[in-house]
A and B are shown apart, each in its own frame.
Chain A
Amino acid sequence: MSAATSTAPATADDDGRIGLRGNLRHIGALVRRNLLWIRQDPESMFDAVLMPIVFTLLFVFVFGGAIAGKGNQDAYVNYVVPGLMAMMGMNIAMGVGTGFNQDFQSGVMDRFRSLPIARSSVLIAKIVVEIGRMLVATAILLTVGFLLGLSVSDVPGLLAAVGLSMVFGSSIMWIFLTMGVTMKNAQAIQGMGFLVLMPLQFGSSIFAPTGSMPGWLQTFTDHNPLSSLADAARGLMNGGPVAHDVWVTLIWSAVITAVMAPVAIRRFRTKS
């Protein structure tokens, strides 16, 4: 938008730009709106609260014995919890797309888009709130994990692992925001999301070491960013080589954000 080319005499001193403080204020107001939604509709937090409990119990007790040996679930807890952290980021990121899509069904997006705010602030506010939901989900996941015998040798490493999951998860949100703006309805996004996420999540080292997989699948899992994220989180929490996986995850996050954020914002701006 070339607002700087303004020649209107009435606004010679107003080039239409919104300063950083203005942007932060707008994002803050929109974040507040999304938090009020949660207060109004606490059920919307069910996924963030229940998913980590249900998934952790399921995986540890259903697969734990098979993978780590009967009675050896503790070892599997240490393996799967860092992986689940990566997985939950994805699932919450998918929710951002469906929620955003529903916003468009009402006229309220028209109102926001007709206000003198940067249109990206609507998207950024959504991401800030979802990162908050990811943190809640992660805290619950770790609590359940500790109850089941999770051991962490390195607390700063744990925090770094949480941070890395947030960074990667928020980059994925831009993909789902783009889908939220472009696709017709929330169900379509959910269907599409599952189609993409299931192979990505299961075709990775999240739930099981990849050593027993056929060669072609290993090629896929080795290049799957979720494997890198899960392996990096494991290494950060319990020691081991991490540098390579951390870098790979950060590069994936940076590339996805650099490509998808402008696409999402552009689509949002020009949506008719």
Chain B
Amino acid sequence: MTRTDNNAVEVRGLVKHYGETRALDGVDLDVREGTVLGVLGPNGAGKTTLVRCLSTLITPDAGRATVAGHDVARQSRQLRRTIGLTGQYASVDEKLSGRENLYLIGRLLDLTRKDARRRADELLERFSLTDAAKRPAATYSGGMRRRLDLAASMIGRPAVLFLDEPTTGLDPRTRNEVWDEVQRMVAEGVTVLLTTQYMEEAERLAHELTVIDRGRVIAEGGVAELKAKVGGRTLRIRPADAAHLSAMAAAVREEGLDGVAGVQAVPDEGVLHVPILSDEQLTAVVGLLGARGFAVSDIGTELPSLDEVFLAITGRQAASVTDTIPQEVAA
């Protein structure tokens, strides 16, 4: 990983209106070279508008943004040489085969015919699409299409990659494949700005997080910082004997671990909810139960949902699609 103190992306006071709606209402953010910034927010928060501004698809109304040192408004052509973009909806030509799609992008990026062919085959191989290379993309599954889309974004070896909700609508297994690919790209030194609605995705991929809502940044920081703010994970413990619930809760409470005071017995479900902030606390709680001789039939951790993060940060429910941005824009 080539982490430096230089920012690959700098955004200052970015504003974009759609009629009366301020889709972006003065956004500031930085992405350090070689890192992944996760931009977290509900539908209609302005995530897509942000990515579209940074990839020069739309022109901001006010504010300034640079990507790899190029100004989005004044140096859009140079900027486009340095970026890759994977949108919320797979931006591949469905009528063309996978190979033809990649070859086309290669040619548009000024590769020679030979190099474009070689690069296409290389990326098909890497994204496990070689077997489907000759089929029209319309016949691909959702995950294959998204992989093809990522491959297309990688042809020009971009310095900065924009991923707009790269796994929305994918099943868990495919989602994992996409995450692995993104991590590989980051390991090769690519800077990534990733928008997502999933806490899990942000935690898995991002070094830093920015939470936006209604076009504004409402929280930012490291993943751990933000998690601490919202209470991190919840440990769910199911005692073998439901009658032990309250005794277990008392035992955990007495131990006086930081944050664990929020321990809660949920008799309806027959489980104990223990908010934990770190792996050490998790180990301590589990160790404690063992030491006291409680029999446990099931145990697991849960990440806070985006809704819970929002509730914790803003004290209100996440904004829904309809009350911030016209449908067309949200799409």
Contacts and interface: CB of A to CB of B under 8 A. Distances in A.
Contact of B52 (A6, A25, A116, A272): A272
Interface string B70-94: 1100111110110101011111111
Interface in A128-146: none
Nearest to B58: A272
Nearest to B153: A111
Interface string B228-246: 0000000000000000000
A177 to B, nearest CB: 19
A32 interface: yes
Contact of B78 (A3, A33, A41): A3
A110 interface: yes
Interface string A21-33: 0100110111011
B59 A270 contact: yes
A5 B74 contact: yes
Given A14-B78, A116-B77, A107 B89 contact: yes
Interface in B89-128: 89-96, 100, 104-105, 107-110
B70 A11 contact: yes
Interface string B202-237: 000000000000000000000000000000000000
Nearest to B52: A272
Given A9-B69, A10-B68, A107-B87, A3 B95 contact: no
B78 A106 contact: no
A32 B81 CA distance: 22
A32 B59 contact: no
Contacts of B18: 272
A147 B75 CA distance: 58
A37 B56 contact: no
Interface in A1-54: 1-3, 5-6, 8-11, 14, 16-18, 22, 25-26, 28-30, 32-33, 36-37, 40-41
A8 B76 contact: no
A115 interface: yes
A6 B88 CA distance: 31
Contacts of B57: 110, 113-114, 272
A110 B105 contact: no
B87 A29 contact: no
Interface residues of B, number: 39
A30 B101 CA distance: 11
A25 B110 contact: yes
A108 interface: yes
A112 interface: yes
B55 interface: yes
A28 B85 CA distance: 23
A205 to B, nearest CB: 40
Contact of B100 (A3, A6, A36): A36
A117 interface: yes
Contacts of B152: 111
A40 B152 CA distance: 21
A18 B77 contact: yes
Nearest to A3: B77
A16 B104 contact: no
A2 B73 CA distance: 9
B102 to A, nearest CB: 11
Nearest to B76: A1
5 contacts: A8-B70, A8-B75, A26-B107, A108-B93, A272-B18
Listed from nearest, the 10 A-B pairs whose CB atoms lie closest are A107-B91, A16-B77, A29-B107, A111-B91, A116-B80, A272-B58, A8-B69, A107-B89, A116-B81, A16-B78
Given A16-B77, A116-B81, 12 more contacts: A1-B76, A2-B74, A3-B75, A10-B68, A16-B76, A16-B81, A32-B104, A36-B95, A108-B91, A111-B87, A115-B108, A116-B77
